[in-house]
Amino acid sequence: MTLSDDELDRYARHIALPQVGGAGQLRLKAARVAVVGAGGIGAAVIPALAGAGIGQMTIIDGDRVELSNLQRQSIYNSGQVGMAKARLASHFVMARNPYVALTSVDERIDADNAADLLAGHDLVIDGTDNFATRLVVSDTCVALGLPLLSAAAQQFQGQVALFRARPCYRCFVGDAFDADDCDTCADLGVLGALTATVGSFAALLAIRAITGIGDNAAGTLHLFDGLTLSWRQLRISSEPTCRACGQLSPAPSDPS
Ligand SMILES: [Zn+2]
């Protein structure tokens, strides 16, 4: 795999970074990333990864654009209300960077289709907004051995964590939410700029993990408070009885 002259120009500000360089840019080009959810988080993650030159991206979302999405989902516009998000997000990426190979899936991910949709990727980014879906995505990533970057935002709080096998997202939230498919954003509200902040942070973690920049240890929860403007980190414990990852060994402290 090589970079064309056009790509060398396009990614010049990346390649100028000693931590990225041509080798890091080739890792981004070789990466296959699935983005589950093209809502508030996805609308920040998707443009950042497209601009960064992720080679293959799958965008999975069964929703249509609603007027109330436009307050935070900046890849959509007023004339697109009612249209399928997965397709619109894919068109956005194609216009932004023709070097990204795209697959758009206009379906809601669930326990029946998750393994088929996620297999074959190097990283899964979950920006969906309900626990039931997030647990399905997490359990599937554990079963397939895929790293999962999970990001969520509501009201003024954001959280982002990278999981590799064990501990997993289910260790973090437990089993109580499998039937909880409510739309937490709709129930509780969310500041539009918060989803962009959290989504951009998730994209930063994704790029770090793919290129191997810095410490990308899994199992750390990054919490952002939009009221106090503070970030803090918490270690997530492996639950001995976790039904998704309980039989696995803990992830090494530096999995990169
Ligand atoms: Zn677990």
Q: What is the pLDDT of residues 189-206, one digit of tens each?
A: 999 999 999 999 999 999
CA of 247 to the centre of ligand 1 (A): 9
CA of 156 to the centre of ligand 1 (A): 27
Instruction: Say if residue 250's pLDDT is above 90.
Output: no
Whether 198 is covered by a domain: the verdict is yes
Whether 90 is covered by a domain: the verdict is yes
Omega cis (within 30) before 47: no
Say which CATH number the domain at 48 has: 3.40.50.720
How far apart are the C-alpha atoms of 66 and 76, rounded to whole Å?
10
Find, among 18, 19, 25, 33, the residue nearest to 3 by Cα. 25
Question: Do the beta carbons of residue 177 and residue 132 sit within 8 Å?
Answer: yes
CA of 236 to the centre of ligand 1 (A): 10
Question: Do the beta carbons of residue 214 and residue 256 sit within 8 Å?
Answer: no
Question: Do the beta carbons of residue 132 and residue 179 sit within 8 Å?
Answer: yes
Mean pLDDT of 59-72: 97
Q: Where are the beta strands (DSSP E) in the chain?
A: 32-36, 56-60, 101-105, 123-126, 148-154, 157-163, 220-225, 230-235
Whether 9 is covered by a domain: the verdict is no
Q: How many domains does the chain have?
A: 1
Instruction: Say if residue 184's pLDDT is above 60.
Output: no
CA of 64 to the centre of ligand 1 (A): 32
Instruction: Say if residue 155's pLDDT is above 60.
Output: yes
Whether 5 is covered by a domain: the verdict is no
What percentage of the chain carries pLDDT values higher than 70?
A: 95
Res 217: pLDDT: 86
Whether 190 is covered by a domain: the verdict is yes
Instruction: Find where tokens 């918060």 sit.
Output: 194
Radius of gyration of the chain (CA): 17
How far apart are the C-alpha atoms of 110 and 106, rounded to whole Å?
13
Task: Give the domain extent around 182.
Answer: 31-235
CA of 190 to the centre of ligand 1 (A): 28
Instruction: Say if residue 46's pLDDT is above 80.
Output: yes
Whether 70 is covered by a domain: the verdict is yes
Whether 94 is covered by a domain: the verdict is yes
Cut 0.85: pTM above it: yes
- Cα 108 vs. chain centroid, distance in angstroms? 16
Find, among 108, 106, 107, the residue nearest to 130 by Cα. 108
Neighbours of 116 (CB within 10 A): 11
Mean pLDDT of 14-34: 98
Mean pLDDT of 3-11: 98
Whether 40 is covered by a domain: the verdict is yes
CA of 90 to the centre of ligand 1 (A): 32
Instruction: Say if residue 254's pLDDT is above 50.
Output: no
End-to-end CA distance of the chain: 21
